[in-house]
Protein backbone atom coordinates (compact mmCIF):
# COMPACT_ATOMS: atom_id res chain seq x y z
CA UNK A 1 0.00 0.00 0.00
CA UNK A 2 1.37 3.39 -1.02
CA UNK A 3 0.27 6.88 -0.01
CA UNK A 4 0.33 10.23 -1.77
CA UNK A 5 1.65 11.87 1.39
CA UNK A 6 1.78 11.58 5.16
CA UNK A 7 -1.19 13.94 5.30
CA UNK A 8 -3.29 11.60 3.17
CA UNK A 9 -2.28 8.59 5.28
CA UNK A 10 -3.21 10.55 8.42
CA UNK A 11 -6.66 11.25 7.01
CA UNK A 12 -7.26 7.52 6.49
CA UNK A 13 -6.15 6.74 10.04
CA UNK A 14 -8.33 9.55 11.37
CA UNK A 15 -11.41 7.99 9.78
CA UNK A 16 -10.62 4.68 11.52
CA UNK A 17 -10.33 6.37 14.89
CA UNK A 18 -13.14 8.89 14.58
CA UNK A 19 -16.17 6.84 15.59
CA UNK A 20 -14.63 5.35 18.72
CA UNK A 21 -12.60 8.30 20.01
CA UNK A 22 -14.31 11.49 18.80
CA UNK A 23 -15.87 12.20 22.22
CA UNK A 24 -13.14 10.63 24.38
CA UNK A 25 -10.34 12.43 26.21
CA UNK A 26 -7.48 11.78 23.82
CA UNK A 27 -4.00 13.13 23.19
CA UNK A 28 -1.99 12.44 20.05
CA UNK A 29 1.76 12.00 20.56
CA UNK A 30 3.82 12.06 17.37
CA UNK A 31 7.16 10.23 17.35
CA UNK A 32 8.93 12.19 14.60
CA UNK A 33 8.60 15.22 12.36
CA UNK A 34 7.01 13.05 9.68
CA UNK A 35 4.65 11.61 12.26
CA UNK A 36 3.44 15.14 13.08
CA UNK A 37 2.01 15.38 9.55
CA UNK A 38 0.14 12.10 10.12
CA UNK A 39 -0.89 12.93 13.68
CA UNK A 40 -2.13 16.39 12.78
CA UNK A 41 -4.96 14.82 10.77
CA UNK A 42 -5.89 12.50 13.64
CA UNK A 43 -5.83 15.29 16.23
CA UNK A 44 -7.92 17.57 14.01
CA UNK A 45 -10.57 14.88 13.49
CA UNK A 46 -10.73 14.04 17.21
CA UNK A 47 -10.48 17.67 18.37
CA UNK A 48 -7.62 16.80 20.70
CA UNK A 49 -4.14 18.04 21.50
CA UNK A 50 -1.16 17.08 19.33
CA UNK A 51 2.30 16.87 20.86
CA UNK A 52 5.72 15.66 19.74
CA UNK A 53 8.03 13.41 21.73
CA UNK A 54 11.55 14.29 20.66
CA UNK A 55 13.56 11.11 20.20
CA UNK A 56 17.14 10.89 18.98
CA UNK A 57 18.17 7.47 17.70
CA UNK A 58 21.60 5.95 18.38
CA UNK A 59 22.83 3.38 15.87
CA UNK A 60 25.24 0.48 16.31
CA UNK A 61 28.41 1.60 14.48
CA UNK A 62 28.67 0.12 11.00
CA UNK A 63 25.64 -2.15 11.35
CA UNK A 64 22.71 0.10 10.44
CA UNK A 65 20.79 -1.09 13.51
CA UNK A 66 19.36 1.01 16.31
CA UNK A 67 20.85 0.64 19.81
CA UNK A 68 17.83 2.54 21.07
CA UNK A 69 16.95 6.16 21.64
CA UNK A 70 17.22 9.15 23.95
CA UNK A 71 14.05 11.05 24.82
CA UNK A 72 13.67 14.66 25.95
CA UNK A 73 13.87 13.51 29.57
CA UNK A 74 17.45 12.37 28.93
CA UNK A 75 16.60 8.71 29.51
CA UNK A 76 18.10 6.16 27.14
CA UNK A 77 16.04 3.09 26.21
CA UNK A 78 17.52 0.07 24.44
CA UNK A 79 15.86 -1.28 21.33
CA UNK A 80 13.46 -3.92 22.67
CA UNK A 81 14.22 -6.18 19.71
CA UNK A 82 17.56 -7.05 21.35
CA UNK A 83 17.86 -9.98 23.75
CA UNK A 84 19.36 -9.37 27.18
CA UNK A 85 22.55 -11.07 25.97
CA UNK A 86 22.81 -8.81 22.93
CA UNK A 87 22.26 -5.71 25.06
CA UNK A 88 25.04 -6.79 27.42
CA UNK A 89 27.39 -7.56 24.52
CA UNK A 90 26.79 -4.27 22.72
CA UNK A 91 26.91 -2.23 25.93
CA UNK A 92 30.28 -3.76 26.78
CA UNK A 93 31.78 -3.47 23.30
CA UNK A 94 30.57 0.08 22.59
CA UNK A 95 30.40 1.53 26.11
CA UNK A 96 32.47 4.65 25.44
CA UNK A 97 30.77 5.36 22.12
CA UNK A 98 27.33 4.83 23.62
CA UNK A 99 27.91 7.19 26.55
CA UNK A 100 29.28 9.87 24.21
CA UNK A 101 26.29 9.51 21.88
CA UNK A 102 23.83 9.77 24.78
CA UNK A 103 25.39 13.08 25.84
CA UNK A 104 25.47 14.45 22.30
CA UNK A 105 21.89 13.44 21.51
CA UNK A 106 20.51 14.88 24.75
CA UNK A 107 22.37 18.15 24.15
CA UNK A 108 20.88 18.28 20.65
CA UNK A 109 17.37 17.77 22.05
CA UNK A 110 17.91 20.54 24.60
CA UNK A 111 19.09 22.94 21.88
CA UNK A 112 15.96 22.20 19.86
CA UNK A 113 13.62 22.55 22.82
CA UNK A 114 15.10 25.76 24.15
CA UNK A 115 13.61 27.02 27.41
CA UNK A 116 10.19 25.51 26.84
CA UNK A 117 9.46 21.86 26.39
CA UNK A 118 7.04 20.07 24.24
CA UNK A 119 5.11 17.55 26.24
CA UNK A 120 3.14 18.73 29.23
CA UNK A 121 2.43 15.49 31.08
CA UNK A 122 -0.80 16.98 32.45
CA UNK A 123 -2.13 16.94 28.88
CA UNK A 124 -1.65 13.17 28.79
CA UNK A 125 -2.67 12.16 32.31
CA UNK A 126 -5.93 10.14 32.44
CA UNK A 127 -6.27 10.39 28.65
CA UNK A 128 -6.25 7.83 25.87
CA UNK A 129 -2.80 8.36 24.37
CA UNK A 130 -2.53 7.77 20.63
CA UNK A 131 1.11 7.25 19.63
CA UNK A 132 1.49 8.11 15.95
CA UNK A 133 4.38 7.20 13.64
CA UNK A 134 4.77 7.61 9.89
CA UNK A 135 6.34 4.14 9.72
CA UNK A 136 7.60 1.61 12.25
CA UNK A 137 10.58 -0.58 11.40
CA UNK A 138 12.20 -2.04 14.53
CA UNK A 139 9.98 -0.34 17.10
CA UNK A 140 12.85 1.40 18.92
CA UNK A 141 10.94 4.70 19.03
CA UNK A 142 8.00 2.88 20.63
CA UNK A 143 10.30 1.56 23.37
CA UNK A 144 11.46 5.10 24.13
CA UNK A 145 7.86 6.38 24.15
CA UNK A 146 6.73 3.60 26.51
CA UNK A 147 9.54 4.45 28.91
CA UNK A 148 8.51 8.13 28.78
CA UNK A 149 4.86 7.26 29.47
CA UNK A 150 5.59 4.81 32.28
CA UNK A 151 5.20 7.31 35.18
CA UNK A 152 2.06 8.88 33.64
CA UNK A 153 -1.36 7.41 34.44
CA UNK A 154 -3.21 6.98 31.14
CA UNK A 155 -6.51 5.35 30.20
CA UNK A 156 -5.49 3.45 27.08
CA UNK A 157 -2.54 3.24 24.72
CA UNK A 158 -3.38 3.25 21.02
CA UNK A 159 -0.67 3.00 18.36
CA UNK A 160 -1.43 4.27 14.85
CA UNK A 161 0.83 4.20 11.80
CA UNK A 162 0.32 3.89 8.06
CA UNK A 163 2.96 1.16 7.67
CA UNK A 164 4.95 -1.21 9.90
CA UNK A 165 7.02 -4.37 9.70
CA UNK A 166 5.70 -7.79 10.68
CA UNK A 167 8.32 -7.93 13.44
CA UNK A 168 7.22 -4.58 14.86
CA UNK A 169 3.53 -5.52 14.78
CA UNK A 170 4.21 -8.72 16.75
CA UNK A 171 5.81 -6.57 19.44
CA UNK A 172 3.16 -3.81 19.35
CA UNK A 173 0.36 -6.31 20.01
CA UNK A 174 1.96 -6.96 23.39
CA UNK A 175 2.46 -3.35 24.52
CA UNK A 176 -0.62 -1.55 23.16
CA UNK A 177 -4.32 -1.75 23.97
CA UNK A 178 -5.21 -1.17 20.33
CA UNK A 179 -3.43 -0.97 16.96
CA UNK A 180 -4.39 0.91 13.81
CA UNK A 181 -1.94 -0.03 11.05
CA UNK A 182 -2.91 0.43 7.42
CA UNK A 183 -0.30 -1.90 5.91
CA UNK A 184 2.09 -4.52 7.30
CA UNK A 185 5.25 -5.25 5.29
CA UNK A 186 7.33 -8.43 5.17
CA UNK A 187 10.17 -6.55 3.46
CA UNK A 188 10.24 -2.99 4.77
CA UNK A 189 11.93 -0.63 2.30
CA UNK A 190 12.27 2.38 4.61
CA UNK A 191 9.50 4.79 5.60
CA UNK A 192 9.99 7.28 2.75
CA UNK A 193 9.51 4.51 0.17
CA UNK A 194 5.77 4.35 0.90
CA UNK A 195 5.03 8.04 0.24
CA UNK A 196 5.04 9.76 -3.16
CA UNK A 197 5.54 13.15 -1.50
CA UNK A 198 8.24 13.11 1.18
CA UNK A 199 8.18 16.82 1.94
CA UNK A 200 8.60 17.34 5.68
CA UNK A 201 8.93 20.82 7.24
CA UNK A 202 12.18 21.80 8.94
CA UNK A 203 12.54 20.46 12.46
CA UNK A 204 12.47 23.94 13.98
CA UNK A 205 9.25 24.75 12.10
CA UNK A 206 7.63 21.55 13.34
CA UNK A 207 8.56 22.34 16.95
CA UNK A 208 7.23 25.90 16.63
CA UNK A 209 3.93 24.55 15.29
CA UNK A 210 3.62 21.99 18.10
CA UNK A 211 4.39 24.56 20.79
CA UNK A 212 1.67 26.80 19.39
CA UNK A 213 -0.86 23.94 19.39
CA UNK A 214 -0.01 23.04 22.98
CA UNK A 215 -0.22 26.71 24.00
CA UNK A 216 -3.73 26.92 22.55
CA UNK A 217 -4.81 23.95 24.69
CA UNK A 218 -3.64 25.41 27.99
Tens-place pLDDT, residues 165-206: 999 999 899 999 999 999 999 999 999 999 999 999 988 888
Tens-place pLDDT, residues 71-112: 777 788 888 778 888 888 888 888 888 888 888 888 877 776
Q: Identify the band that residue 118 occupies on the pLDDT scale cut at 50, 70 and 90.
A: low
DSSP per-residue codes, the chain: --BS-HHHHHHHHHHHHHHHHTTS-EEEEESSHHHHHHHHHHHHHHT-EEEE--EEEEEETTTTEEEEEEETTS-EEE-TTS-HHHHHHHHHHTHHHHHHHHHHHHHHHHHHHTTS-S--GGGTTTSEEEEE-S-BSS-HHHHHHHHHHTTS--SEEEEEEEEEEHHHHHHHHHH-SEEEEEEEESS---GGGGBS------HHHHHHHHHHHHHHH-
Tens-place pLDDT, residues 25-82: 999 999 999 999 999 999 999 999 998 888 778 888 877 778 888 877 778 888 877 8
Domains, the chain, with CATH or none: 6-55+119-217 (3.40.50.2020), 56-113 (no CATH)
Amino acid sequence: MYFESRTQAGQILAQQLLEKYRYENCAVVALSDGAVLVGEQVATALHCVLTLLLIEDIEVPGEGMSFGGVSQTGNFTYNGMFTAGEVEEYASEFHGYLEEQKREKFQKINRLLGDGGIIDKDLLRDHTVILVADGIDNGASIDVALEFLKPIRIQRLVIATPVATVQAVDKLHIVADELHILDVKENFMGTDHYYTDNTIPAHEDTIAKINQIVLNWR
